[in-house]
Structure 1
Amino acid sequence: MEENTTIFGIRTVIEAIQSEKNIDKIYIQKGLSGPLLQELQSLVNKQEYNISYVPVEKLNKLAQGNHQGVVAKISPVKFRDLEEVVQESLEKDGTPPLFLLLDQITDARNFGAIIRTAECCGVDGIIIQSKGGAPVNADTVKTSAGAVFKIPICKVNHIKDAIYYLQASGIKVVAATEKTSSTLYEQDFSTPVALVMGSEGKGVSSSILKIVDENAKLPMFGTIGSLNVSVACGAFLYEIIRQRSSPLNSEGKI
């Protein structure tokens, strides 16, 4: 396990990439150019790192020193290989596999809260996308109450590819979305399942909704149209637990 670290300087970040450090996010100054930066750009483009182009004022806040227009955050956790984690879940005895895919969750505290609930619910692994999501930073670690170190987190280039792989592995993918008439209570979660939770503002993206196996929503009775994503995630996960721990009735339904 690595400490949560900020590194800066173009050559330093290049060397960190080449050393296969767990880089969570790279900040590059807007308008920056030069041959060394081109070398960095070539490396990050090959591996699809999470990059933000920011004004120099942002970099000055992130790093105290000659950052040369580039700052990177090294993740405090080591990301796991998706195929390896899925295989482990399929080979274990007992409870069917349960995965969580996060589609562009951007708030670190929401991310941490989701990780904490997922660990409490026995989720086998959390899958996030390399670009666009919240970083695994100090806020994430604190909000997760240390759960970030106890549950496998897999970082993939594209969530869609992860969904296709899960489906090919016999795992049903269910998206949590209000854009459906089916509630989570109508779903059968007794089989291997991967749950997709969407971003705070837009929910699960339309392109992902087209390829999942099922869509499900939480019933809402108030005037506010949605729940905080970490709260909604908890409701879904505990319905999965309820179904998996409840005996079947005479009709074979939970």
Structure 2
Amino acid sequence: MSKQIYGIRAIIEAIDASQPINKIFLQKGLSGDLFRELESLIRKQGISSSYVPVEKLNRLTKNNHQGAVAQISPVEFHDFEVLVENIVAKNNSPFFLLLDQVSDVRNFGAIIRTAECCGVDGIIVPKSGAAPITDDTVKTSAGAVFNVPVAKVDHLKDAIFYLQSSGVTVVGATEKTEKHIYSIDFKGPCAVVMGAEDRGISPSVLKMVDYKAKLPLLGKIGSLNVSVACGVFLYEVVRQRSK
């Protein structure tokens, strides 16, 4: 399961060794050459981080943390371009899922579980702002996180462009359209984009998709939980491909 690395030098070495780091907690007000080196590496690699009081670090570990604690993902992340190339090469109708700033670990876990059941070939998330893969994610996914490859990218827009150039049709799930999901053809190579719990898909990402589609909502409540909506979208792909 997930583990922690503590100590500035140890975390620098972990970053240099390409360890799958979820997030790094840094002590507020700390300085020094080694600390600044770590900060520079974090910015360069686009690793999620936050500055916290020393009391937070003390709660995370009883060891001498030196002002820095890193949380390591329990799974290895895949290289995005290699993942796409391999899947497209061996599958005539690849099926991808992109998550734009989905930040709740339990929603993330539930989505991964559904994606695995629906035969999704790969899940793509941004390095910054996305929910980390924690023990809660693993538990909520019922272990499915170990069966579906997950890739992190610097910018979701670049990932969409790369998928499109690889022959993959990208469909964004949004209420900002008149087109229903049931009018979209999902039989060919496709990718579904789901947005954040509170904001949906960001405008800059939404501009990139090939099609926008929404779910018909017949009640008084105007939206579904993102993991539920994602399940409906993914199973529409399954339904069409099962015919």
Same fold (TM over 0.5): yes
RMSD: 1.2
1:250 maps to what in 2?
none
* Among candidates 79, 93, 96, match of residue 99 of structure 1: 96
SS at match of 1:38: helix
User: 1:161 aligned to 2:158?
Assistant: yes
1:132 maps to what in 2?
129
Deviation at 1:174, TM superposition (A): 0.6
2:62 maps to what in 1?
64
* Among candidates 55, 71, 74, match of residue 72 of structure 2: 74
Distance 2:54 2:198 in 1: 28
Q: Per-residue displacement from partner, 1:31-77 (whole Å, max 9, x unpaired)?
A: 22211111101211221111122233322222222222211111111
SS at match of 1:52: strand
> For structure 2, which runs of at least 5 residues remain unmatched after alignment?
none
SS at match of 2:151: strand
CA contact (8 A) 1:51 1:131 kept: no
Distance 2:119 2:181 in 1: 19
2:172 maps to what in 1?
175
Letter of the 1:154 partner, please give it: A
* Among candidates 30, 33, 36, match of residue 32 of structure 1: 30
Distance 1:63 1:84 in 2: 36
Distance 1:97 1:16 in 2: 33
> For structure 1, which runs of at least 5 residues remain unmatched after alignment?
247-254
1:7 maps to what in 2?
5
Distance 2:30 2:220 in 1: 48
Q: TM-score normalised to the size of structure 1?
A: 0.92
2:212 maps to what in 1?
215
Distance 2:16 2:229 in 1: 39
CA contact (8 A) 1:197 1:203 kept: yes
What fraction of aligned residue pairs are identical, expressed as a percent? 62
Distance 1:228 1:72 in 2: 30
Distance 2:194 2:65 in 1: 36
User: 1:243 aligned to 2:243?
Assistant: no
CA contact (8 A) 1:160 1:208 kept: yes
Distance 1:151 1:57 in 2: 36
Distance 2:51 2:199 in 1: 22
User: 1:114 aligned to 2:148?
Assistant: no
Q: Deviating runs (4+, > 4 A) in structure 1?
A: none
Distance 1:224 1:25 in 2: 35
Distance 1:93 1:110 in 2: 28
CA contact (8 A) 1:85 1:124 kept: no
SS at match of 1:155: strand
Deviation at 1:93, TM superposition (A): 4.5
Q: TM-score normalised to the size of structure 2?
A: 0.96
The number of equivalent residue pairs is: 243
Q: Per-residue displacement from partner, 1:166-205 (whole Å, max 9, x unpaired)?
A: 0110101111011111110111111111110011111100
SS at match of 1:6: strand
CA gap of 1:167–1:224, structure 2 versus 1, over 3 A, is same
Distance 1:155 1:204 in 2: 17
Letter of the 1:200 partner, please give it: E
